Every structure is written in C-alpha cells, then in structure tokens.
Structure 1
Amino acid sequence: MRRPVHFDAAQLSFINIAQAASRIRKDYGNNARRSLTVCCSPAFSALWMAQRLPSFFSDNPDIDLDLVTSQNFLSLEPGIHPDIFITKISRLRDGYASVPLFHDRIYPVCPPAYLQAHPEIQTLDGLRHSVLLNLSPYGRSQVAEHVDWSVWLAIHRLDLDERQKNDAHFFNANDYNLLIQMVLNGQGVALGFNQLVSHLIAQNLLVRPVPEELVLEESRHYFAYREDKASDSALARFRSWFFAQCGLLQE
C-alpha cells in the first residue's frame, strides 16, 4: 500500500520557485515558445473557445495559451495582466485598444425532441407558460444591459408576470453553462446568445422554437489587446485566427 505524500509550505514554495525558474529559462532560450494570456467569461470559454481552440493550436504549435475566466473584468486578482480580453466593455482600462466585434442576437432554444414533445412552445404565449430556464443578473453589475426572459418577452409585448400558478416551473441561475446543459438535457427552454449556441444549432442539437429574436444594436462585444504588444507576432496570429472564427475581416 502506498504511503501518502506530505508536503509542508516550505517544500511547496521551493517547488513553485523551481517551476518559475524553468519557465524563465524557456522564455529566454533559443527555442523559446510564445505565450498569451486571454481573459473571457466562463460561458464564452466553455461554449465558444473550447470547440474552436483545436484549430488554433494545430496552426500555431509554438504558442501556449493561458485562459483566465472572469465575470468581473474590472477588478481581476493582483498579478493578472491579460494580453487579450473578450468583453462587452468598450473601454476596459488604460493601455488596451478595443476592436468591436458582434452584437448580441438572443432567441429561445431547445432540443428538437423537446420541441416535438411540447409543440405549444412554437408560439410566444406558449413559451411564456412553459418551463423557462432563466439567466439571473446576479454578478453582472458591470454589464449595462441584461436580457432575461422578463426583458425578452416584454420586448415582444408579453408580460412574464401573467404566468399562472399552475404553469410549468421557472428556474433561475446565474451560470449560463448550467442553463445550456439543462437545455441540452431536455429540461426546458433557455434564451440562446447566438455567438454561444450557433454551433449547437448547426449540429442540430438545439433548435429555435419561434423565429422571434432580439438584437442589441446599441452594444457590442470587444476584442481588447495590450497596446504595448500591438506588434507582437503571437498576439497578431491569435487575433487573425479569432477574427476569422468570428467571420470578421481584420480592421
């Protein structure tokens, strides 16, 4: 039977120092690898980045990525200085240049089997009385606008408060990844943000039960990068790949 390995704080400190020294040697060696730190939301990381990054790594085997996720872009932990932010804040902080990306397009989504089992959700009123999985505004105080089911239905002239006591349940959470997983599991209908769910629709894992959508034309997502790294080749390659994945032309 193997004995448990015990480390004290001093041993761990020495290991951390050794690892840091190793990274420095790699950075300044003849065969130095390039490294970028990218910061985005947990939902963007899981639903956008995860399924696209393999193409970046296959085309750029010499670049390592350090991906940091946060809902609070304005006050990251000390020592975190991302090279790139993907954010909805146009002017994030000094020393960063921002390039506008896409608008939010928001529409209901559910799996094909769920739509077949619940044909009533093919109307807006039917949707209002169905099982709704809602994105809570909790933790999103930095974003000027927040679209949940109440807002989305109000834009389409329906009042969420008119749901009846015997209507299907209403589930509220501030974890968008959880909501999409619940949708994929056939547990209800959620609002899909196009940039996060379009690949799931393309794979026929999700469908749009109604054609109505909301486009936030007054706001965008932004690609913000460190101005002092504007000529860095690794950053330039990541930016070129990212814009191509978004279907956008370089500025």
Structure 2
Amino acid sequence: MTIPTAPDQTLIRMPSLRAVRSFVAAAKYLNFTRAAESLCVTQAAISRQIRELEDHLGTPLFTRTGRSVELTPAGSIFFDAAQLSFLNIAQAADRIRREQARPARRQLTVCCSPAFSALWMASRLPSFFSANPDIDLNLVTTQNFLSLDPGLKPDLFITKMSRLREGYLSVALFHDEIFPICTPRYLRDHPEVASLDTMRDGTLLNLTPYGRSQVAEHVDWSVWLSMHGMSLDQRPADAPHVFNANDYNLLIEMVLSDQGVALGWGHLVEHLLRQGRLVRPVNEQIVLNDTHHYLLYREECENDEAFERFKRWFTAQFPERQVA
C-alpha cells in the first residue's frame, strides 16, 4: 500500500518563479521596458507576470506614474527577499556548472593531532599537492580521537592508537624517539645544558598530559629523566622555573625563541634540526620500542586510487622508521 504524500503547503503557497523573475527585473531597473529587454521578452509579458504576482500577493508592488514605476512598501520588502534568493540560486547553479566542467576530483579527510598537523604536515604537504593536483585534502585536528563530531568519518587517521573504531585497517609506521632540544643560541648562552646533570637544573619547558589522554602514553620531563636515572625532585630550590603546558606547538615556539629546553619528538622536529634552527644539546634519548604511530584507513578505501597515492606518499616520508 502506497501512503500518499501530504501536500507541501509552503511550495503550494509559493508564487510563480517566472512571475518573481519578471518582478525582480522590473524592480531592479524601475522600468518595464528595460526589464523586458534584460529577459529577452516583451513588455506585455512583464506586465502580465507582475499583475499575476500582485494578484497572488493581494497587494500592488509598483505605483505607476506615466512611463516610470516605483516600488510600494510591500514591493520593497518582496524585492529584498526575492533578489537575495535569486542571487543564491544563480550562485549555486554557477558552482554546480563549474564543478561539472572540471575533471573529477577526489577528496580525502585526514585526522591527526594539532602538533602533527603544524610540525609535520605543514612543511611536507606542498610535495603531495605538487604530485597530486587532482586530490583535495580535508585536514581535521583533534587531541581526542575517540570523541569526534557526530557524522565525521575520516578516511584516514594518523595516531598512536592501532584501533579506534570498527571498519578501519592499520599500518604500523615508526617508534617515538624523544630527546632534549634547544636553539644553537640558547646552547651557546647556556653551555650547562650540554650535560644531563646540569640540564635538569635549568629552565625546562614541559609537556603536560591535560587534555591529551586520547593521544597515547605520556612522556614528560619527569618520565624522561627517570628513564635516565634522574629525578626532577633533585633540582635545587633556586633552580629556574619549569614551564608546563599541554600545547606542544606553544612549547616549540618557546624553544625557538630561546626560552629554554624542551623534549623533542623526532618525527616532529627533524626538519627544524636539519634547518639548524634546533640542536640536540646531549646525545641521550629514549625510544619507545613497544609502541608505534599508525596510519589507520577505512576498509572501503583500500582499493581507492586517491587513497593509495596518499598512502604511498605518506609512508615514503619514513624510509628509516617504517616498520610495516
């Protein structure tokens, strides 16, 4: 049994779009002859359509004095609304026509942390776009991969979690390498940071876990030093401050402005090391061999050409660290 569709009263009450188009032209030029010329119709057709619209609305839209016309108060109200609606329709139609005329494009939605986006993606994406001009990327950043906006289903995640949700496959990439970093100038002005014993007692910029519980295991100065047999509690009472923040991008900016020593995650700061903007004041580091970074992707993307091209480009950025 077919259930009949209820009448759509909004559409039923709508005036004729042809009549509205004639009205908009007449209101724009305040001249029926020019309106007729702009629409390639006769003046009589314009007059007929406007009479139809006035009958539908139950009120005059123009006052006619000889050959000139002026909008009534009701006409001004209707013109403002109708002109904006027609403009929106025309823009949408133009956009659709342009899209249809372009070669087919593919968009991939990639989700990663703000630090990975700013410190890794930003400097490397030009090479991807140069090699793949027909692929658009939609980048979404979050610190909480388990709680995204409803309806958001990224094609790819770059994360330290091997599983996030059903329907995704994972590629293990690399382990974290974590070591102290500062600027060459800071090292020159504070030679004591070239030794772990005295570095511990200097100005430390520390990444806190607040708001980062969904990123992965947390390593801060306390954890890092303890893995080298040292403790922050051993700092003297008159030691410089330890600055704490949960924004890694902020800490990197502070390091770059010579404000102290922070822990550097190798994959995030390697380009700054290559450029000479940062240095490693000591050789000590830790490598988290029990955990990886992962590229997670939707199962249905597996045979998608755009995804495969992104995957090849992305994994090629880790030739030494890639493990699977």
Per the alignment, in what secondary structure is the counterpart of residue 171 of structure 1?
Answer: strand
Counterpart residue number, 1:154: 226
| Residue 166 of structure 2 corresponds to residue 94 of structure 1 | yes
Within 5 Å, which residues of 2 pair with 1:52-71?
52-71=124-143
Q: Does the aligned pair in 1 maintain the 2:168–2:296 contact within 8 Å?
A: yes
Quote the residue 2:119 is aligned against. 47
Query: For residues 145 and 167 of structure 2, what CA distance do their matches in structure 1 show?
Result: 14
Q: 2:181 aligns with which of 96, 103, 109?
A: 109
> Please, what TM-score do these two structures have when normalized by structure 1?
0.88
| Matched residue type, 2:260 | G
The alpha-carbon distance between structure 1 residues 234 and 58, as it changes in their structure 2 partners (threshold 3 A), is same
| Aligned pair partner of 1:235 in 307, 311, 317 | 307
Q: Aligned AA for 1:239? A: K
Asked if 1 retains the 8 angstrom alpha-carbon contact of 2:201 and 2:239, the reply is yes
CA contact (8 A) 2:183 2:277 kept: yes
**1:174 corresponds to:** 246
Give, in whole Å, the separation in 2 of the partners of 1:229 and 1:54.
23
8 Å contact kept, 2:172–2:323? no
Residues 166, 156 of structure 1: alpha-carbon distance in 2 compared, 3 angstrom cutoff: same
> How many Å separate the matches in 2 of 1:199 and 1:49?
11
- Alignment partner, residue 37 of structure 1: 109
User: Which residue of 1 is the match for residue 279 of structure 2?
Assistant: 207
The match for 2:204 among 132, 137, 140 is 132
Q: Structure 1 residue 95: deviation in Å? A: 0.5
| Corresponding residue of 2:148 | 76
Whichever structure has more helix as a proportion of its residues is 2
Cα distance between partner residues in 1 of 2:218 and 2:107 = 34
Aligned to 1:121: 193
Of 142-151 and 230-239, deviating more is 142-151
CA–CA distance in 2 between the matches of 1:75 and 1:135?
Answer: 22
Higher relative contact order (CA 8 A, sep 6+): 1
- Post-superposition Cα deviations, 1:48-68, rounded to whole Å, max 9, x if no partner, equal 000000000000000000000
CA displacement, residues 52-107 of structure 1 (integer Å, 9 cap, x when unaligned): 00000000000000000001111101121100000000111100000001100000
Deviation at 1:139, TM superposition (A): 1.1
Judging changes above 3 Å, is the alpha-carbon distance between structure 1 residues 232 and 250 closer, same or farther for their aligned structure 2 residues? farther
TM-score by length of 2: 0.69
Matched AA of 2:278: L
Amino acid aligned to 1:31:
P
Deviation per residue, 1:24-48 (Å, 9 max, x gap): 983x766221100000000000000
Q: Which amino acid aligns with 2:145?
A: F
Unaligned stretches of 5+ in structure 1? 1-10
Distance 1:148 1:20 in 2: 54
Check 1:197–1:19 CA distance in 2 against 1; reply closer, same or farther (3 A cut).
Answer: farther
Q: Please say if residues 173 and 179 of structure 1, whose CA atoms lie closer than 8 Å, have aligned partners that are also in contact.
A: yes
**Shift of the alpha carbon at 1:142?**
2.5
> How far apart are the structure 2 equivalents of 1:23 and 1:81?
25
Q: Which amino acid aligns with 2:175?
A: H
Cα distance in 1 for partners of 2:286, 2:93 equals 48
Q: Offset of 1:250 from its aligned partner?
A: 9.6
Aligned to 2:293: 221
1:244 counterpart letter in structure 2? A
C-alpha spacing 1:64/1:123, structure 2 compared with 1 (3 Å): same
Letter of the structure 1 residue corresponding to residue 194 of structure 2: Q
Q: Is the 8 A contact 2:159 2:215 kept in 1?
A: no
Question: In the comparison of the two structures, how many residue pairs are matched?
Answer: 239
Larger Rg: 2
Q: Is the 8 A contact 1:121 1:209 kept in 2?
A: yes
What 5-or-longer segments of structure 2 have no aligned partner?
A: 1-83
Task: Please say which of residues 84-93 and 142-151 is displaced more in the overlay.
Answer: 142-151
* 1:146–1:23 Cα change, 3 Å: farther
The aligned residue for residue 7 of structure 1 is: none
Matches of 1:150 and 1:194 in 2, distance apart? 19
Look up the equivalent residue of 2:212 and give its one-letter code. Answer: R
